[in-house]
């Protein structure tokens, strides 16, 4: 009989058998999969696990602090936080092409992760939150069956030059099982049921060149949008929702003055597999309230639009 408790016990026994008294490192992104992997491995081997959390400056509002609070403070997991915002932003300066942006962000992540793990000279294992659908997808990619429309980058995909053995305790599990064991392990509900967030983060939600000023504006708008989706009960009915920063200025009026500021687009989709998706019919009254809040509360935005494109032909992300 299958229960989250059984899966956990089984996984813990396996992890202990596999790694013995070796040290393990794990790249923590704050997403569901790496978070559950971290919690599970920590339950199995405690202090033998060290997590590396790279803050690339492209995370959502307060995300880095939340990851540290959950893992380091509440659970006692060893987490090295690398503040790499400047490195990422300077590498991205002047780059507008979406694929180049992805490659830069993915490549820099690997470099930084390697630098940190080289400092942990006695680590023998690299843990990853690979889940069953990832295994299938990458098998497809090798036989050329998967359509690599955008080069997806995850915490995975590290080079073989790292002389570490792979530890992938979620490899046989589906997303709903991963969530169930995450809750059983005591991770916060909001972390376990969170919408997916792409590896390149806000880097692909700021169209064209990424600037800190844009990221700061986008973080505030996105936080208001998501807060309102929770408050109105829509969040759990939506598969993925986020705000997108458009580096386009348009004219507005505020009081008796004229404004000339940027645009934010709101995206919300329903999907089973993220291969096709429909836009979510958010009620007009909720749209109106969210739009008013963003325009009133976020300096630099004077116009909000709602994305009514399905996938295909549009993708879920804008880049
Ligand atoms: P698209 O935009 O291709 O997105 O319709 C499908 C799903 O994949 C996510 N996504 C990514 N996830 N690295 C990731 O880890 C990436 O580079 C990436 N690009 C898109 C997207 O958020 C959506 O859930």
Residue 218 maps to which CATH number?
A: 3.30.300.10
Three-state secondary structure of the chain: CCCHHHHHHHHHHHHHHHHCCCEEEEECCCCHHHHHHHHHHHHHHHHHEEEEEEECCCCCCCHHHHHHHHHHHHCCCEEEEEECHHHHHHHHCCCCCHHHHHHHHHHHHHHHHHHHHHHCCCEEEEECCCCHHHHHHHHHHHCCCCCCCCCCCCCCCCCCCCCCEEECCCCCCCHHHHHHHHHHCCCCHHHHCCCCCCCCHHHHCECCCCCHHHHHHHHHHHHHHHHHHHHCCCHHHCCEEEEEEEEEEEEEEECCEEEEEEEEEEEEEECCCCCCEEECCCCHHHHHHHHHHHHHHCCCEEEEEECCCCECCCCCCCC
Q: Of all protein residues, whose CA lies closest to atom 16 belonging to ligand 1? A: 152
298 belongs to an annotated ligand binding site:
no
30 belongs to an annotated ligand binding site:
yes
Write down which residue in 192, 217, 242 finishes a domain. 192
**CB distance 301 to 221 below 8 Å:** yes
Write down which residue in 158, 192, 226 finishes a domain. 192
Nearest atom, ligand 1, residue 319 CA? 2
Give the Cα separation of 277 and 272 in Å (integer).
8
Q: How far is the CA of 11 from the centre of ligand 1 (A)?
A: 28
115 found inside a domain: yes
Residue 255 lies in domain: 205-306
Give me the residue label for tokens 């807060």.
Answer: 227
* C-beta of 311 in contact with ligand 1 (< 6 A): yes
For the whole prediction, is pTM greater than 0.90? yes
β-bridge mates for residue 206, sequence order: 245
pLDDT of residue 138: 80
Q: How far is the CA of 163 from the centre of ligand 1 (A)?
A: 29
Give the Cα separation of 316 and 306 in Å (integer).
13
Q: In CATH, what number is assigned to the domain containing residue 99?
A: 3.40.50.620
Low-confidence stretches of the chain (pLDDT < 70) are 1, 140-162
* Whole-complex ipTM: 0.99
pLDDT of residue 130: 96
pLDDT of residue 158: 59
The verdict on 120 and 233 lying in the same domain is no
The verdict on 126 and 232 lying in the same domain is no
The verdict on 164 and 301 lying in the same domain is no
Structure tokens given for 54: 């790279």
The verdict on 80 and 217 lying in the same domain is no
The verdict on 17 and 147 lying in the same domain is yes
pLDDT of residue 160: 57
Write down which residue in 192, 224, 257 finishes a domain. 192
309 belongs to an annotated ligand binding site:
no
The verdict on 79 and 159 lying in the same domain is yes
29 belongs to an annotated ligand binding site:
yes
Q: Of all protein residues, whose CA lies closest to atom 22 belonging to ligand 1? A: 198
For a ligand 1 pocket test, name from 274, 276, 279, 310 the mutation site with the most ligand atoms within 8 angstroms of its C-beta.
Answer: 274
317 found inside a domain: no
pLDDT of residue 2: 79
* C-beta of 152 in contact with ligand 1 (< 6 A): yes
The verdict on 209 and 69 lying in the same domain is no
35 phi-psi bin (left φ>0, alpha ψ -120 to 50, beta other): alpha
146 found inside a domain: yes
33 belongs to an annotated ligand binding site:
yes
The verdict on 243 and 116 lying in the same domain is no
Nearest atom, ligand 1, residue 315 CA? 5
199 found inside a domain: no
Q: How far is the CA of 13 from the centre of ligand 1 (A)?
A: 33
Structurally, how many domains does the chain consist of? 2
Nearest atom, ligand 1, residue 154 CA? 15
């Amino acid at each position: 009989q299958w229960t989250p408790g059984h899966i956990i016990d089984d996984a813990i026994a396996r992890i202990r058998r596999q790694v013995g008294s070796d040290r393990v490192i794990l790249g923590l992104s704050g997403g569901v999969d790496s978070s559950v992997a971290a919690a599970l491995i920590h339950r199995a081997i405690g202090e033998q696990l060290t997590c590396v959390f790279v803050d690339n400056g492209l995370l959502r509002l307060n995300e880095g602090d939340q990851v540290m609070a959950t893992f380091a403070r509440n659970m006692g997991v060893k987490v090295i936080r690398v503040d790499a915002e400047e490195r990422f932003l300077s590498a991205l300066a002047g780059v507008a092409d979406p694929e180049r942006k992805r490659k830069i962000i993915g490549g820099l992540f690997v470099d930084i992760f390697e630098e940190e793990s080289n400092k942990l000279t006695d680590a023998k294992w690299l843990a990853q939150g690979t889940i069953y659908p990832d295994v299938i997808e990458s098998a497809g990619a090798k036989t050329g069956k998967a359509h690599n429309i955008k080069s997806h980058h995850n915490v995975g995909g590290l080079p073989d030059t790292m002389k570490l053995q792979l530890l992938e305790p979620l490899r046989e599990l589906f997303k709903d099982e991963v969530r169930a064991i995450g809750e059983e392990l005591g991770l916060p509900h909001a972390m376990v049921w969170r919408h997916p967030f792409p590896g390149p983060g806000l880097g692909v939600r700021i169209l064209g060149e990424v600037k800190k000023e844009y990221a700061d504006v986008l973080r505030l708008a996105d936080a208001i949008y998501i807060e309102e989706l929770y408050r109105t009960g829509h969040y759990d009915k939506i598969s993925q929702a986020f705000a997108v920063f458009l580096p386009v200025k348009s004219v507005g009026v505020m009081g008796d003055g004229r404004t000339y500021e940027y645009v934010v687009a709101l995206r919300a989709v329903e999907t089973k597999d993220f291969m096709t998706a429909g836009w979510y019919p958010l009620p007009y009254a909720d749209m109106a309230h969210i739009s008013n809040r963003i325009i009133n509360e976020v300096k630099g935005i004077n116009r909000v639009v709602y994305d009514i494109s399905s996938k295909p032909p549009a993708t879920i992300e804008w880049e």
